[in-house]
Amino acid sequence: MFLRKMQLPLYLLLLAAWIPKAVFCQEQSDAEEQSPQANHEQAYHKISLANSEFAGRLLKLLVSENPQKNVFFSPVSIATAFAMLSLGTKTATLTNLLEGLGFNLTELQEREIHQGFQGLAHLLNTTEGKVQLESGNGLFIDDQLEPLQSFLDDAKNLYGAEVFAANFKDSQGAKKQINDYVDKKTHGKIPELIKHLDPTTVMILINHIFFKGNWETAFNVTLTEPQDFYVDENTTVQVPMMVKREKLYYHRDDELFSSMVVLPYEGNAWLILVLPDEGKLEQALEAIIAKKGISHSRFVEKRKVSIYLPRISVSTSYDLEQLLPKIGIRDVFTDKADLTGISTQSKLQVSKVLHKAVLEVSENGTVAAAITDIEIQRNIAAPPVTIKFDRPFFVSIMDTNIHQHLFVGKIVDPTAKY
């Protein structure tokens, strides 16, 4: 016999493993090639601006909720999971969810949104070069719930979802089943996603993303030495400070109160680091969001840069069911939720949204010992610049082929796990 009212926990999972890639916003291509790849890119570009806007709103919210903590998350993981969930929503719940993700439903049809995420999934999983980027979705469904075949078909066809039977009444067994799946998909970086599992759960939806990349030019580990990192006016921690000097894309933007530098990886990947001026962290974030991010087109000139960057090893965990209503995603968490697109036999609502992320940056992770870069530029060579990340800064991880947010964050203490 089915319960009259069941809660549907939704778990969102991501991982940035070892070393990332970057930029804050997407830009659309004017190319119109008739090929499967171009079709995926075209479909994706219809949702890219909404994804960028969602990333900015969520970054601002998480920073305001965690002023003294590291913030690191994957907006694309969260958006993808909720877009897949929307396959099972109807009426006002569907509208609220898609608008909460930033989509204008008068300009974009629901079908186009799902096709956009389908294109995005294809593009993320066909990265070339030495970048390892894996993304996917999983559904764990209890035998208490009889999901509609249309929901399962759409989840598989549009989002590539793997579907598993689970017995949530055996909470320990179900927890092990899900944690083993997560451990495998994240290559051991998140061995335990779920610590407690309610036996009344009937479905868990998981999105995972994993990244590993190699520096185009490695940091020399023998140059790394302990230095001070100024968490705030009253707190200083010792960090292993890496250093190297090379020609890098560098940009100074007074309107954003920030200096920015790009660290490239082998393959189609960048790590963009944004260092706000002293005392201007909040103003810099407001300005960046107001400008709808930092586009890669700002980086047009390479400079000789001496960069000081701490090793980073941080983990974050968020219970988003309390936070997402603050940026407009409300209905799925209430007893008014209409999830009849998943099942018509039970009254369902989302009870939990768990989001975990891991970021590690070190001297290693590159197979190239050095690269000699000889360039001819129109401008007279600019003088060398030094940029030292010894106070809180922003990071962004992006696929430079499609300019898609993978991860964004604020590093307050590179040594703090949580």
Concatenating the DSSP letter of every residue in 108-140 gives: S-HHHHHHHHHHHHHHHTT--TT-EEEEEEEEE
Beta-strand relationship, 404-411 and 71-73 = antiparallel
- For residue 103, how many other CB atoms are within 10 A of its CB? 27
Q: Find the mean pLDDT for residues 59-66.
A: 94
The per-residue pLDDT of the chain, averaged, comes to 82
Backbone angles phi, psi at 296, to 5 degrees: -65, -15
- pLDDT of 58 strictly over 70: yes
Percent of the chain topping pLDDT 70: 84
- pLDDT of 348 strictly over 90: no
Using CA atoms, how far apart are residues 311 and 156, in angstroms rounded to an integer? 39
Write the class of the CATH domain 221-310+373-411. Answer: mainly beta
Q: With bands split at pLDDT 50, 70 and 90, how would you rate the model's confidence at 129?
A: low
Residue 296: the pLDDT is: 65
Residue 145: the pLDDT is: 86
Q: Which of 58, 54, 61, 41 is nearest to 103 (CA)?
A: 54
- For 193-215, how does the pLDDT look when each residue is reduced to its tens digit (9 = 90+)? 888 888 778 888 999 888 888 88
Contact (CB, 8 A) for 275 and 284: no
Q: With bands split at pLDDT 50, 70 and 90, how would you rate the model's confidence at 266?
A: confident
Q: Find the mean pLDDT for residues 111-127.
A: 88
Instruction: Tell me which of 39-43, 85-89, 274-278, 295-299 is least confident.
Output: 295-299
Give the right CATH number for 5-213+314-360 from 1.10.260.40, 3.20.20.70, 3.30.470.10, 3.30.497.10. 3.30.497.10
Percentages (nearest 5) of helix, strand, coil residues in the chain = 30, 30, 40
Using CA atoms, how far apart are residues 310 and 347, in angstroms rounded to an integer? 49
Contact (CB, 8 A) for 139 and 215: no
**Strands (DSSP E) found in 217-374:** 225-232, 235-253, 258-265, 269-276, 302-310, 312-319, 347-361
- For 152-198, how does the pLDDT look when each residue is reduced to its tens digit (9 = 90+)? 999 999 999 999 999 988 989 989 999 999 889 888 888 888 888 88
Using CA atoms, how far apart are residues 260 and 305, in angstroms rounded to an integer? 11
Residue 417: the pLDDT is: 67
| Domain-wise residue ranges, the chain | 5-213+314-360, 221-310+373-411
Residue 364: the pLDDT is: 54
Using CA atoms, how far apart are residues 348 and 190, in angstroms rounded to an integer? 28
Q: Which of 61, 31, 39 is nearest to 320 (CA)?
A: 61
Residue 37: CA atoms inside 13 Å, Cβ hemisphere, count? 11
What's the start-to-end Cα distance of the chain, in Å? 42
Q: List the structure tokens of 154.
A: 């759409």
Quote the pTM value.
0.86
Residue 54: the pLDDT is: 92
- The secondary structure of residue 65, as a DSSP letter, is H
Contact (CB, 8 A) for 288 and 294: yes
Q: Find the mean pLDDT for residues 16-39.
A: 48
- For residue 11, how many other CB atoms are within 10 A of its CB? 23
